[in-house]
Chains A and B, each alone.
Chain A
Amino acid sequence: MTADQGGGPLLRVEDLVVEIPRDGMVSTPVDGVSFEVGSRESVGVVGESGCGKSLTALALLRLHPRGAAHIRRGRALFRGEDLLAMDIDRLRKWRGRRISMVFQEPMTSLNPVFQCGDQIAEGMQVHLGLSRQQARDRAISLLEEVGMDHPARRAGQYPHELSGGMRQRVMIAMAIACSPDLLLADEPTTALDVTVQARILDLLERLQEERAMSLLHITHDLALVSQRSNRILVMYSGRIVESAKTAQLVAEAAHPYTLGLFACRPRLGDRRRRLSLIEGSVPDPAHRPQGCAFHPRCPFATARCGQERPEMQSLGAGHAVACFEAERVREAGRWPDA
């Protein structure tokens, strides 16, 4: 708790590297990630599939697939204590209580044979030592808090009796049951349709403010977090390539990849035009191109980008970017059309 008093960040990740040994080769899907999440801050992590964003979140709680992946190095200081180095039993007590997680697929993340109320209650019985009845009552009020109609009845239902949106609300109720300081939400709305998505995001925003939590929202859709997060981290091929306050990022993105992510989403009223594309796909982490991993897809790339890897450099006011051409990119302000 000492770090907190000093006004430091709630979570501070330093140079996290996660490796996957495969066929005698080693691939590094998370390749030196550093970032901070402040107290009561909402941070968005954005990137395409395969950029390592989910694995980063899993590694923080040491929930990455055992045997397949391992943490090579790095620290994850949560209130000054290293999550990656601490005793696993102690971390287990923290999971769900101080840091909890909401996943993309609410169907497979809920146990099909337990009633929703009992699943929410379970964590509180374990972590808060509540009796079965107390926990059950709390579960019902949590269901109400996450906006479920007829919370008492819903508590007695099984996951398959609920719609996707409702299941995600149950997941969220489970995640906030023990009042965690940090909520990791990994693509929490990707499996849902847009109207439900908007409501779930409203809910997360409201809970984050009311409960004074920090939120790390992982998504592939930049537009989603650009409305609601305080700060955004853009990840590409295992590294953070740009980090800025949301308004800054929207107004003056300095990494070409960020511009690309902005450009490829269809906009209302903008019809039947070819969309701008980031051609190609995220490289396999075992075969990253030399230099900047993005350079083969980058319209701003120069010869230097193919040889040297750019490191994060500050552009001032909390804005940092890993790109040699940051100035030129920021001036251009948009992804060039195809």
Chain B
Amino acid sequence: MPEALLEVRDLRKVFALRRGILGRRAGETVAVDGVSFTIGVGETLGLVGPSGCGKTTIGRCILRLIEPTSGRITLAGEDLLALRGKALRRFRRNLQIVFQDPYGSLNPRMTVGDAIAEALEVHGIGSPRDRQDRVVGLLERVGLEADHARRYPHEFSGGQRQRLGIARALAPRPRLVVADEPVSALDVSVQAQVLNLLQDIQLEFGVSYLFIAHDLAVVQHLSHRIAVMDRGRVVEEGLAEDLVSSPRSAATRALLESVPRLGG
């Protein structure tokens, strides 16, 4: 196994249900219930499970968009949960996200060039000229053109927007990208284009992926290892080929059975 980049230990997230104007605690849901896994450098871990199993919450916890209730997350040796304020903001460039919904993940009021350059600006990377060059480089890398930088998101199709989302995530040269259902809102034909792109980029940039999805066929295609989740817990984890060929848990078998196959 490659050198570990991300380590998640005993991650727990409990959401409190609050009622009334005073926000009385009226109960709780355990979204993530003691989850541990590692992702190596340049590796893809597929996180798969039915909706509501907690997989998205895990991704958001790693990105520090949600505060976990307990547990430990380290990225390249750095204790992620101990970071606060400015230190956290500086560290964020190492961790990026690609969202499911290509229509909601780009600010409709910013040109895509500005959206991609934002990360570079925030972290003071390069001169304005350099940044522009890097934006153009990224656009071309994801299969778009340099003059697309001046356009607004609504001028692009769903597949193109997903490419833009990938370009934006890559801009600050992250070590880990959380891809949260990046293809499930796309046409099958466009899915293939985006999956290929994600694969090429991994080889080229050496980035690691946490690939979250509900479709096992898609997950196993891209992942080195897969963790299957069910109701907040990881119920099975292993190398992608083993997991697909000899599933051990009922949850995995259910996921395998629901994969649409060509029949007739």
Contacts and interface: CB of A to CB of B under 8 A. Distances in A.
Are A and B associated in one complex? yes
Interface of A: 48-50, 163-164, 192-198, 220-224, 226-227, 246-251, 260-262, 264-272, 274-279, 281
B199 interface: yes
Interface string B195-231: 1100100000000000000111110111010000000
B221 A194 contact: no
B25 interface: no
B221 to A, nearest CB: 4
Given A195-B50, A272-B224, 14 more contacts: A221-B260, A223-B188, A226-B264, A248-B264, A264-B192, A266-B192, A266-B218, A267-B221, A268-B256, A268-B261, A271-B240, A272-B221, A277-B192, A281-B190
5 contacts: A194-B214, A194-B259, A221-B260, A226-B264, A262-B262
Contacts of B260: 194, 197-198, 221, 223-224, 226-227, 265
B120 to A, nearest CB: 29
Contacts of A222: 188, 262
B261 A275 contact: no
Contacts of B157: 49-50, 281
Nearest to A201: B260
A270 to B, nearest CB: 7
A197 B257 CA distance: 11
Interface in B73-113: none
Contacts of A198: 257-258, 260
A272 B199 contact: yes
A235 B46 CA distance: 33
A164 B50 CA distance: 12
Contact of A268 (B195, B220, B263): B220
Q: Max chain B CB contacts within 10 Å: which of A50, A193, A274?
A: A193
B128 interface: no
A251 B264 contact: yes
A164 B51 contact: yes
B192 to A, nearest CB: 4
Contact of B262 (A226, A269, A278, A281): A226
Contact of A221 (B188, B214, B222, B258): B188
A195 B49 CA distance: 9
Nearest to A278: B189
A247 B188 contact: no
A144 to B, nearest CB: 23
Q: Max chain B CB contacts within 10 Å: which of A49, A266, A269?
A: A266
Given A198-B257, A227-B263, A269 B245 contact: yes
B133 interface: no
B199 A274 contact: yes
B196 A274 contact: yes
A251 to B, nearest CB: 7
A192 B181 CA distance: 12
Nearest to A164: B51
B159 interface: yes
